[in-house]
Amino acid sequence: MLSRDLPVPEGWLRLRQQAMGLGGEVVRWLDQKSRDLASLGPASRKARDFAAFGDGSVLCWPWDSLVNPQGMQIGRGTLIAPHAALSTGWEMDQPGLADDVLVIGDRCLIGRGSSIVAHESIVIGDDVWTGHHVHITDMNHGHADPDIPISQQFVDPAPVRIGAGSWLGHGVVVLPGVTIGRHVVVGANSVVNRDLPDHSVCVGAPARPVD
């Protein structure tokens, strides 16, 4: 009989289960504490890199990317969930970048895994909440020249505005040049490529008012 086929004493099994349970609790506690410590608040040294970082706001760790925070203003009481990607400008450490390329208002919630790419101007009003994996950008790619890869065909940026009190569902994409009004609901997985009026419920690709 091989050693691995020998019966394991019941007491040893109980001890191993207890050790795994305790070890798991310790690992989870350490992981949560490390995430809390690595997250950014207004008192964090890294928060000084932002143009503004309001009281009570948190950028949760880990984030996927943070490019040119000197062009970002974050209001008060705003939560940006883990795995966010925030970017302003055209290149890392861009000189002379304006301090309001990306503005996120007070009491906002940006969902897990969301990305906001602001080359020139994205403004998100107060009390805007999003679901997970929302993408907002003020620039897109062109396709007019068939001999040039689409990745190398850029179109001019166009500002994006999202009105106060709006809700963007899971997986929403907001494209350049769009103004979303106040208190607008945008349904999950919608693509916003046109203006949406105040106090509307909008769904689809492209998103359009349904209520």
Confirm whether 141 is a catalytic residue.
Answer: yes
Measured on CA atoms in the order 54, 91, 171, 63, is the torsion positive or negative? negative
Residues 51 and 110 reside in one and the same domain: yes
Residues 34 and 47 both lie in one domain: no
Q: For position 117, what pLDDT does the model report?
A: 97
Q: Are residues 27 and 108 in the same domain?
A: no
150 shares a domain with 76: yes
Percentage of the chain beyond pLDDT 90 is 73
| Overall number of domains in the chain | 2
pLDDT of 91-109, one tens digit each?
Answer: 999 999 999 999 999 999 9
pLDDT at 5: 61
**Amino acid 67: pLDDT:** 97
Distance of alpha carbon 98 from alpha carbon 206, whole angstroms: 31
d(C-alpha 175, C-alpha 71), whole Å:
20
Q: At residue 141, what is the residue type?
A: H
pTM: predicted TM-score of the whole model, two decimal places:
0.84
Give tens-digit pLDDT for 8-54.
Answer: 677 777 777 777 777 777 767 666 666 667 799 999 999 999 999 99
Q: Provide the pairing of β-strand 85-88 with 109-110.
A: unpaired
Chain-wide mean pLDDT for the chain?
A: 91
pLDDT digits (tens, 9 = 90+) for 175-187: 999 999 999 999 9
Q: What is the pLDDT of residue 37?
A: 72
List the single range of 15-19, 29-33, 118-122, 145-149 with lowest mean pLDDT. 29-33
User: What CATH number corresponds to the domain at position 97?
Assistant: 2.160.10.10
Residues 48 and 32 in one domain: no
Please identify which residue in the block is written with the tokens 């008012």: 209
The domain of 24 spans 1-38
| 151/140 same-domain check | yes
Q: Collapse the DSSP code of 76 into the 3-class scheme (helix H, G, I; strand E, B; otherwise coil) and give the result.
A: coil
Q: Are residues 69 and 27 in the same domain?
A: no
Residue in 133, 135, 141, 199 annotated catalytic: 141
